[in-house]
Amino acid sequence: MLIGNKCDLADQREVKTEEATAFAEKQGIAFEETSALDATGVDKSFRIILTEIYRLMSRKTIQPEADGPSLSSGVKVPVDGGNKKQAGKGCC
């Protein structure tokens, strides 16, 4: 998604809306103008992004890697890389 910010400062615009829209269409992505100052377009932009993520994820099935544990296998995966800390030692 392409988001143009500061749409509340139209008099200081550096990229025309038409140019940004054409670029987004050429790239196959959505375009929305926003303003962090007054929140114009912010909610709509998040809805567009979340809707697209949901659409893409609902079309895919998450499959485990052939050489690794799956999320549903019940295998515990250590987040520290499997390194055991020695008792009495500090973290560093």
pLDDT of res. 78: 66
CB contact at 8 A, 3 and 40: no
* Per-residue pLDDT reduced to its tens digit, 9-60: 888 888 888 999 999 999 999 999 998 888 888 999 999 999 988 888 888 7
The reply to whether 87 falls in a domain is: no
Note the pLDDT of residue 4.
Answer: 87
User: How many domains, the chain?
Assistant: 1
**Residue 7 pLDDT more than 70?**
yes
Residues for the chain: how many in total?
Answer: 92
Residue 80 main-chain phi, psi, to 5 deg: -95, 15
pTM metric for this prediction: 0.54
Task: Provide the domain limits for residue 39.
Answer: 2-59
Q: Is residue 8 part of a domain?
A: yes
Q: Is residue 64 scored above 80 in pLDDT?
A: no
Q: Is 70 inside any structural domain?
A: no
